[in-house]
Amino acid sequence: MSLVTHWIDGGPVRGSGDATQPVHDPSTGQVVAELGLGTAEDVDRAVASAVVAAEAWAQVPLGKRASVLFRFRELLVASTDELAALVSREHGKTVPDARGEIARGLEVVEFAAGIPQLLKGEHSEQAATGIDVFSTREPLGVVAGITPFNFPVMVPLWMSPVAIATGNAFVLKPSERDPSASLLLADLWAQAGLPAGVFTVVQGDKVVVDALLHHPDVAAVSFVGSTPVARYIHATASAQGKRVQALGGAKNHGVVLADADLDDAADQLTAAAFGAAGERCMALSVAVVEESVADALVERLAAKARAVRVTAGDQPGADMGPVITAAAKERIEGLITSAEEQGATLVVDGRGLVVDGYEGGFFVGPTVVDHVRPEHDVYQQEVFGPVLDVVRVAGLDEAIDVVNANPYGNGTAVFTASGEAARTFRRRVRVGMVGVNVPIPVPVAWHSFGGWKDSLFGESHVYGPEGVRFYTRGKVVTERWPQRTAPAPTASFHFSGDSQK
């Protein structure tokens, strides 16, 4: 059985520890690899290599950095099928969905390849007599990314291309659930000509996370995951004086108004709720429906949920695969049970699903729960599974109140034929990413991704312009070159506020 290792100083490394952890294929429940868990010593070794690499990489001209990004992009395109197969095997998502994940990551690589333009500063000629002022942005040094299981390629690509393009060395701590894709990414970076130590992978669990959070040579930490962990990472790393962008959990609402195209809304909600088995931070897990059309929409949702083809992710025609672990399956089914016990109506029940030929897999079927109330556990918690709650409301005002009362503020969408209603919704809703007749409003790479409230800790969103600012610090230079032929000006002992001199 293969051992998944670290990638330090330009190549695979076994690491100093003996502890391992099994990596499962969620479709079968079988162990497909063993993961070598890192130690604090491995983190020290990785960061020491990254420190040296960062000093040299920061001096590489912008055009040469961009050329590495361009080569990396071409290698990613050529390796899409291999990467998608790895992701499907260890995560369980369908191969087409894995390809889509890689494509969205490629967008950020393409954005970061424009780094010569993105790092242009500002210049003020003759700010005072003989004095010019200009600004630059410089890399931080060594930065770390701690990424989740649900997007083992896309989320590292949300972080590393921008961090590397801006001149930093990047240390990745991927999820221990599906770690193999991280090593293929490391190899592609090396093939693209990235110097050893600029992209590093340290596998592991909380031991590695804490070592990165406390390491004095790690200047910044990026994280995507659950809200409790995001809160912990933000508090811990901030206390160490590090920059932090920590993206947490979500409870995303799709609001369906009475004038919406119900067939289209049902299609969009089904795909957004059950794609990737609901294991997306942008999944629409709540349908907030105007009461006058709720019965008609629920009828459509039920039919579409029952038609979803659930099987192993590498099977042709699969719409949805398993959830990530047996524990996740048990937790999701427990929340479905609690909804029934607390008075909600199970319209489609995905508990107890067994897929022929994959009897050991961690499958939960698409589930539609009607008459959900905000106090129900299935609404209170981020289910992170194929469960769609239906909350009925009187109209747009109540729908906005429901969304705004939720502690999360990651993504939301409204389905309507009314421009007035859509504008009212997008202006009043307190959520970071909003879709209008778009179910999963993940911003394109030249904007930035991030939520509000308990979905984000720290001030910075990820990738896009905010990513460039996060991985760099500003410097302003005020300079004067005295004329050698003219009398030297007399230095003043007093602070001057007169820019006319």
What CATH number has the domain bearing residue 42?
Answer: 3.40.605.10
Per-residue tokens: 118? 């993105």
Give me the count of residues in the chain: 501
Tell me, yes or no, whether 195 lies in a domain. Answer: yes
**Beta-carbon neighbour count of residue 492 at 10 Å?**
8
Task: Determine the pLDDT at residue 480.
Answer: 95
Which amino acid, 206?
K
- Is the predicted pLDDT of residue 210 greater than 80, yes or no? yes
Average pLDDT (233-239) is: 98
Task: Determine the pLDDT at residue 486.
Answer: 62
What CA–CA distance (Å, rounded) separates 246 from 252? 18
Average pLDDT (343-372) is: 98
Dihedral class, residue 450 (left if φ above 0, else alpha if ψ from -120 to 50, else beta)? left
Terminal Cα distance for the chain, rounded: 74
Residue with tokens 């209008």: 436
Bridge pairing between strands 408-409 and 345-348: unpaired
Tell me, yes or no, whether 485 lies in a domain. Answer: no
What CA–CA distance (Å, rounded) separates 119 from 468? 8
Task: Say yes or no: 196 and 343 in one domain.
Answer: no
Range of the domain at 271: 252-436
What CA–CA distance (Å, rounded) separates 488 from 467? 44
Task: Say yes or no: 212 and 338 in one domain.
Answer: no
Q: What single DSSP character describes residue 52?
A: H
CATH of the domain at 383: 3.40.309.10
Task: Say yes or no: 266 and 208 in one domain.
Answer: no
pLDDT tens-digit readout, 378-410: 999 999 999 999 999 999 999 999 999 999 999
- Is the predicted pLDDT of residue 202 greater than 60, yes or no? yes
What CA–CA distance (Å, rounded) separates 427 from 401? 13
| Sheet with 387-393, side-by-side order of all strands | 345-348, 367-370, 387-393, 284-290, 252-256, 411-415, 433-436
Q: pTM of the prediction?
A: 0.95
What CA–CA distance (Å, rounded) separates 487 from 489? 6
The candidate with the shortest Cα–Cα distance to 148, out of 274, 280, 25, 330, is 280
Task: Determine the pLDDT at residue 497.
Answer: 61
- Is the predicted pLDDT of residue 495 greater than 70, yes or no? no
Helix (H) or strand (E) holding 6: strand 6-8
Tell me, yes or no, whether 498 lies in a domain. Answer: no
Task: Determine the pLDDT at residue 493.
Answer: 73
What CA–CA distance (Å, rounded) separates 321 from 90? 11
Helix (H, G, I), strand (E, B) or coil at 28: coil
The candidate with the shortest Cα–Cα distance to 425, out of 227, 260, 269, is 260
Tell me, yes or no, whether 445 lies in a domain. Answer: no
Per-residue tokens: 43? 């983190």
Per-residue tokens: 468? 């460039």
Answer for the pair 3, 36: CB distance below 8 angstroms, yes or no.
Answer: yes
Residue with tokens 């990254």: 50
Tell me, yes or no, whether 487 lies in a domain. Answer: no
The answer for residues whose C-beta is within 8 angstroms of residue 239's C-beta and 6 or more apart is: none
Per-residue tokens: 346? 């199970």
The structural domain count of the chain equals 2
Indicate the burial class of 281 (C-beta count within 10 angstroms; 0-12, 13-18, 19 or more).
buried
Task: Say yes or no: 326 and 467 in one domain.
Answer: no
Task: Say yes or no: 230 and 286 in one domain.
Answer: no
pLDDT tens-digit readout, 134-174: 999 999 999 999 999 999 999 999 999 999 999 999 999 99
Task: Say yes or no: 230 and 276 in one domain.
Answer: no
Answer for the pair 410, 246: CB distance below 8 angstroms, yes or no.
Answer: no
Task: Say yes or no: 233 and 380 in one domain.
Answer: no
What CA–CA distance (Å, rounded) separates 229 from 224? 9
Task: Say yes or no: 211 and 102 in one domain.
Answer: yes
pLDDT level of residue 488 (50, 70, 90 thresholds): low
The answer for residues whose C-beta is within 8 angstroms of residue 100's C-beta and 6 or more apart is: none
Q: What are phi and psi of 93, to 5 degrees?
A: -65, 160
Tell me, yes or no, whether 494 lies in a domain. Answer: no
Task: Say yes or no: 141 and 241 in one domain.
Answer: yes
Residue with tokens 């959520």: 431
Return mean pLDDT, the chain: 96
Answer for the pair 34, 4: CB distance below 8 angstroms, yes or no.
Answer: yes
Task: Say yes or no: 284 and 398 in one domain.
Answer: yes
Task: Determine the pLDDT at residue 496.
Answer: 63
Instruction: Tell me what percent of the residues of the chain surpass a pLDDT of 90.
Output: 95
Helix (H) or strand (E) holding 68: helix 62-78
Average pLDDT (80-89) is: 98
Task: Say yes or no: 201 and 260 in one domain.
Answer: no
Average pLDDT (424-452) is: 96
Q: Which of 238-242, 304-308, 491-495 has the lowest mean pLDDT?
A: 491-495
Answer for the pair 409, 400: CB distance below 8 angstroms, yes or no.
Answer: no
**Beta-carbon neighbour count of residue 453 at 10 Å?**
17
Helix (H, G, I), strand (E, B) or coil at 453: strand
Tell me, yes or no, whether 315 lies in a domain. Answer: yes
Strand-pairing partners, residue 453, are: 408
Q: What single DSSP character describes residue 192?
A: T
Residues labelled catalytic: 281
pLDDT level of residue 501 (50, 70, 90 thresholds): very low
Task: Say yes or no: 430 and 321 in one domain.
Answer: yes
Rg over alpha carbons for the chain, rounded to the nearest Å, is 25
